[in-house]
């Protein structure tokens, strides 16, 4: 058996939560390795719906969850999430959740700076969630971040806050936003410390022991490849690396532990926030995809932009993300369309391209080149085998495989965890 890393192959919101939840039954440990509470996974279990932002999805399966050092953690948001799922009957304790001692923290000043910057950008805003993710990652790289381990050292915490406030208050004042006072921040962190420290440990050590013991580890990514800070549609991206290699750096394991990489993609395409979206539909078809797919952000509630499947973009994600196989979700949303379209490339300023270029202007100018496929009238919702799918749906999936140059190893046909067609078990070596 091997470990598995799950990443998004589009712009996020591909249904990773359900896939992680479904695969967690085969794993021993589930690890979040990047992002913050700007990402959300919705898990439907019977008549219960869990909305997770920071907590690893495997907790719902009773698996040990780990928040790795690559995640930026908002202490208040994490505790609120723990309280919320506990009220739903899913208790989270230090026996079921561990947090890396070197994970950076998100403070209220990060969210304030995030919001002030977006306001200052006006019409050129990036479309962040305003939750302080970017500024927190900036502090990490600038070596001024407050980390989980600092909560156990009040003197260190106090000194670090001095440096942090010198930087952030200067920026906030320059943007015309309210500044922060040290005493209130310090008191708040010291009050939160006793609630958080029992979850803390050097998780790299636990993961090393798990690897030696032959335990199966599922690495759970947030966002998606096209939101990667290096490889995505920059600057309309998140502030962390979302590709599979980050699973190693973001959790404290070697690259060999990443295992097989499963990319998640919808059978169509969605995006939240600003930025280029070549296959976006502004017509009734786009509206219908959104209504059928219940396309609203798990974290923000923002309406998602919808469009046809972009095979050129997913092929790019497969290559740079190191994806071995694809999990195609929400196939049932395409039921009833007479025709379906798949983007196979782009026309940019009169030239044909097989991938999205890095330049911002070129990305904005990209027009999709479509291939038209026959749709199907039969329902695929709830199908659990190839035999239950209409021939046209199978043809659509096979064409996706050819265009993205990766096999579809798992197919999801509804939000229910067991409405899944498994072609190849990702954990099989």
Q: What is the DSSP string of 116-165?
A: HHHHHHGGG-----SSSHHHHHHHHHTT---BGGGGG-HHHHHHHHHHHH
Residue 402 covered by a domain? yes
Which of 45-54, 105-114, 241-250, 293-302 comes out lowest in average pLDDT?
293-302
- Mean predicted confidence (pLDDT) in 227-248: 95
- Alpha carbon dihedral 80, 85, 89, 92, in 10-degree steps, equals -70
Residue 192 covered by a domain? yes
Handedness of CA 155, 157, 158, 162 (dihedral sign): positive
Residue 379 covered by a domain? yes
Indicate the residue among 261, 281, 296 that finishes a domain. Answer: 261
pLDDT in tens, 52-105: 889 998 898 889 999 999 999 999 999 999 999 999 999 999 999 999 999 999
Show which residues are catalytic.
13, 41
Residue 184: CB partners within 8 Å, gap ≥ 6?
none
Q: Are residues 394 and 289 in the same domain?
A: yes
pLDDT in tens, 384-425: 999 999 999 999 999 999 999 999 999 999 988 788 998 888
- Mean predicted confidence (pLDDT) in 347-353: 94
Distance CA 275, CA 7 (A): 20
Q: Are residues 390 and 306 in the same domain?
A: yes
Count: domains in the chain: 3
Q: Are residues 222 and 171 in the same domain?
A: no
Q: Are residues 288 and 311 in the same domain?
A: yes
Residue 69: CB partners within 8 Å, gap ≥ 6?
100, 102, 103, 203, 204, 250, 251, 252
Q: Are residues 251 and 271 in the same domain?
A: no
Beta strands in 9-152 (DSSP E): 29-32, 41-45, 48-52, 64-67, 97-100
Cβ–Cβ < 8 Å for 251, 70: yes
Residue 137 covered by a domain? yes
- Mean predicted confidence (pLDDT) in 334-340: 96
Q: Are residues 371 and 295 in the same domain?
A: yes
Query: At residue 302, does pLDDT exceed 80?
Result: no
Residue 315, domain extent: 265-422
Q: Are residues 276 and 387 in the same domain?
A: yes
- Mean predicted confidence (pLDDT) in 212-237: 94
Q: Are residues 98 and 17 in the same domain?
A: yes
| Cα-based angle 360, 366, 368 (whole degrees, multiple of 5) | 150
Closest CA to 220 of 54, 45, 395: 54
Q: Are residues 391 and 286 in the same domain?
A: yes
Q: Are residues 81 and 126 in the same domain?
A: no
CATH at residue 141: 1.10.300.10
Compute φ and ψ for 142, nearest 5 degrees.
-80, 0
Query: At residue 339, does pLDDT exceed 90?
Result: yes
Distance CA 170, CA 370 (A): 49
């Amino acid at each position: 058996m091997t470990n598995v890393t799950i990443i998004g192959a589009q712009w996020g919101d591909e249904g990773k939560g359900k896939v992680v939840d479904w695969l967690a039954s085969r794993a021993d440990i589930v690890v979040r390795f990047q992002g913050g509470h700007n990402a959300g996974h919705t898990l439907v279990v019977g008549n219960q719906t869990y909305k997770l932002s920071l907590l690893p999805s495997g907790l719902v399966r009773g698996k040990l969850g780990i928040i790795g050092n690559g995640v930026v953690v908002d202490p208040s948001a994490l505790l609120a999430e723990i309280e919320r799922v506990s009220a739903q009957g899913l208790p989270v304790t230090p026996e079921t959740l561990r947090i890396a001692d070197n994970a950076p923290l998100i403070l209220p000043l990060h969210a304030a700076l995030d919001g002030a910057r977006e306001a200052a950008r006006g019409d050129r805003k990036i479309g962040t969630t305003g939750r302080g993710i970017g500024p927190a990652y900036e502090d990490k790289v600038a070596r001024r971040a407050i980390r989980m381990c600092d909560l156990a050292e009040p003197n260190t915490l106090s000194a670090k806050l001095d440096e942090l406030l010198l930087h952030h208050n200067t920026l906030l004042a320059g943007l015309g936003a309210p500044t922060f006072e040290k005493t209130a921040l310090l008191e708040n962190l010291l009050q939160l410390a006793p609630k958080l420290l029992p979850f803390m440990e050097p998780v790299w050590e636990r993961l090393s022991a798990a690897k030696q013991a032959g335990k199966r580890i599922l690495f759970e990514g947030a966002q998606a490849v096209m939101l990667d800070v290096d490889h995505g549609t920059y600057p309309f991206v998140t502030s962390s690396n979302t590709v599979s290699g980050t699973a190693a750096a973001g959790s404290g394991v070697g690259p060999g532990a990443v295992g097989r990489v499963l990319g998640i993609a919808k059978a169509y395409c969605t995006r939240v926030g600003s930025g280029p979206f070549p296959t976006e539909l502004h017509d009734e078809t786009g509206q219908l995809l959104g209504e059928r797919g219940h396309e609203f952000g798990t974290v923000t509630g923002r309406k998602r932009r919808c469009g046809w499947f972009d095979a050129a973009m997913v092929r790019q994600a497969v290559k740079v993300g190191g994806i071995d196989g694809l999990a195609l979700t929400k196939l049932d949303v395409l039921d009833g369309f007479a025709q379906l379209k798949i983007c196979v490339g782009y026309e940019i300023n009169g030239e044909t391209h097989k991938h999205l270029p890095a330049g911002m202007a070129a990305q904005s100018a990209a027009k999709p080149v479509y291939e038209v496929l026959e749709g199907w009238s039969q329902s695929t919702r709830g199908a659990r085998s190839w035999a239950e799918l209409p021939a046209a749906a199978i043809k659509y999936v096979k064409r996706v495989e050819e265009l993205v140059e990766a096999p579809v190893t798992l197919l999801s046909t509804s939000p229910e965890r067991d409405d899944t067609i498994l072609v190849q078990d990702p954990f099989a070596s």
